[in-house]
């Protein structure tokens, strides 16, 4: 696989727009398999760049609170102060007894 040049995409909106364009192209029934695979490689590179951009972002307490509020409004996992979305795991560590892995207690 050749290294994909993503240097012209410097902002998250630019990356998101290009990814949308890639999705549109891949959905075209006339696209060749080779072109689809090239676009897939580009999408992976762009996705990695976007993740790196998010990971490198330092959110102010106000921004973190706003992200948490937006995630709660959408029903998504909470965003911690470091900008990482929670995945809902770890409930057992907090004493949640409704885990799927725990068999139900029978009343005798």
Q: Is residue 105 part of a domain?
A: no
For residue 29, what are the domain limits?
1-57
**Quick one: CA torsion of 55, 57, 62, 63, rounded to 10 degrees?**
-70
If one counts the domains in the chain, the total is 2
DSSP 79: B
Return the axis-axis angle of helices 12-27 and 33-55, rounded to nearest 10°: 160
Comparing CA positions, the residue from 3, 20, 24 lying closest to residue 12 is 20
d(CA 89, CA 13): 30
Confidence band (pLDDT; 50, 70, 90) for 42?
very high
Q: What is the pTM assigned to this prediction?
A: 0.54
pLDDT confidence tier of residue 56, bands split at 50, 70 and 90: confident
Q: Is residue 101 part of a domain?
A: no
Does residue 74 sit in helix, strand or coil? helix
pLDDT of amino acid 108 = 47
């Amino acid at each position: 696989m050749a290294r994909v040049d993503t240097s012209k995409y410097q902002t998250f909106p630019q990356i998101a727009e290009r990814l949308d364009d890639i999705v549109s192209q891949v959905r075209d029934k006339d696209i060749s398999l080779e072109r689809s695979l090239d676009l897939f490689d580009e999408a992976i590179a762009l996705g990695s760049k976007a993740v790196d951009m998010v990971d490198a972002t330092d959110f102010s307490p106000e921004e973190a609170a706003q992200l948490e509020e937006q995630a709660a409004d959408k029903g998504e996992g909470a965003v911690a102060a470091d900008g990482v979305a929670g995945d809902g795991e770890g409930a057992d560590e907090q004493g949640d007894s409704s885990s799927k892995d725990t068999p139900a207690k029978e009343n005798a």
